[in-house]
Chains A and B, each alone.
Chain A
Amino acid sequence: MIKVNNITKKFGSHISLENINCEFNKNESIALMGANGAGKTTLIRSIMGYYHLDAGEVLIDGLNPIKQRVEVLKHISFVPQLPPPIKLNIEELMQYISVSANVDKELMKHYANEMKLNINANLNKSFFKLSGGMKQKLLIAISLAKESDIIIYDEPTANLDPKARDDFYRLLKQNEKEKVLLFVTHRLEEVKDLVNRQIYMDFGKIVPDERF
């Protein structure tokens, strides 16, 4: 499903990814780990087509995420490390997602409800004015409602309380079949029941890649 072929990404003289090769297939839940600056987020962003690579290529179902970004992104759900300060209100943000990615608004509300977030009470509130936890819950709800084949989470539980984390993992467990689930995380113990593969990165390289 996702093929990462020998990719290198440099920022100036700093090599962020060096000759990375890996493949992610259906029904794989991967914990992507490593110290800060190891290249985890760069790898994720390369998969999503945000970076022009210095060498190598990423293919998603045979498609290039830069040249065929619209086709590729139809199949990807993404939650970033920190919720961005989007000024749109919740209603507008949902409209943006509903029109651009054909996601059912009711499904977004359903998953938000499952995450104990009452969307209807906050529809006219700007996204950036929500609390950190509420923002994260909404982004998770959107990612699940999109029903993508590939779900990428960049440390999604950073702002969540223990109860919300449990809700999140429960929903994920229900939705992981026939998908690729890619987690960037520093806490393996939290996701160990969910993942079946663990990749550790260091200085832009994959050090161990273990399946279990």
Chain B
Amino acid sequence: MALRLERRAQHSQLMVTLSPVIAILLTLLSGIVIFALLGKDPFLSLYTFFVLPLTSLYGLTELGVKATPLILIGIGLSFGFRANVWNIGAEGQLTLGAIFGGGLGIAFYDSDSALLLPAMILAGVLGGMAWAAIPAWLKTRFNANEILTSLMLTYVAVLLLSYLVHGPWRDPDGYNFPESRMFSEAGTLPLLLEASRLHLGAVIALLVVVAAWVLLTKALIGFQLRVVGLAPAAARYVGFRQKRLIWFCLLFSGGLAGLAGLSEVAGPIGQLTPSISPGYGFTAIIVAFLGRLHPVGVLFAGLVMALTYIGGEAAQIEIGLPAAVTGLFQGVLLFFLLACDMLSTYRIRFVRQPAAGPVASVKPAAGEAAAQ
């Protein structure tokens, strides 16, 4: 017996929808192995990691807090990934959004104007867009690979933030800690729920999901993105302008990443610090794929990935697991997802094989061809 992959005549829509579910289940199964290897009770660990955070109202609101940036960035990236525009530098665009918006918050730290927050949000979006415009320009003008340029710019952005909070933007009354002033009340996103950290950003993220869904299904640009992804040759024949799509994808995802950065610093953090994100920009790549590059899917995927963050924190506190388990789970999940995706294009067949050998392995293939 041997396994053979056989191409499906048609893309299986059922498997496209099911494969994230299968991938999550496989990840949980491998979680049992990982926890056992770490010398912990696997089932208690799984419970602590994936269930315990959901049993309290505070845990649920924290899920929303972590999911907000993931959904915002994931929506943006999913548009680009559809058109094979690989923006890997969302973490850097998030950082620039925080710097632009947060800079405004620091400049007007004693303001109580109702205009401050909208201005900060706008500045955050523009900051992310500006940072993403660099790889867009380098790609369209000089043909430079956007994966590498956007990623390199992430390191530059984090260093820039580090310089600002260690130097010119350091809180003058902050005992030399590398942190900026706290933003004023008017420069902070209002809370949705007392005694939680859930803030207005979550509502904005939901609105973005709806807007992205409309854009994707009803607008010309969404149609173009879908065509480029499904049939690049057709897109070329119809004359979609490739460069314009690259610009759109990068500015769109950069702007949303910038918004995510601003909503982090004007939300749960309340000031600029050297590290404002536990890698949301990278995790959002998984969110986009897990959500099938579809806005509604991204919404759910964002919640799932948010759970790996709070689950990791809970497991750290309750059973002393290292925080890095979160990253491991995220990587494993993406592996399983990519593997399961194969099942939407191929079906697995068990083929009875005669004696091994390169010649023999060709024969059943020829037989199948005849049978079809």
**Do the two shown chains form a genuine complex with each other?**
no
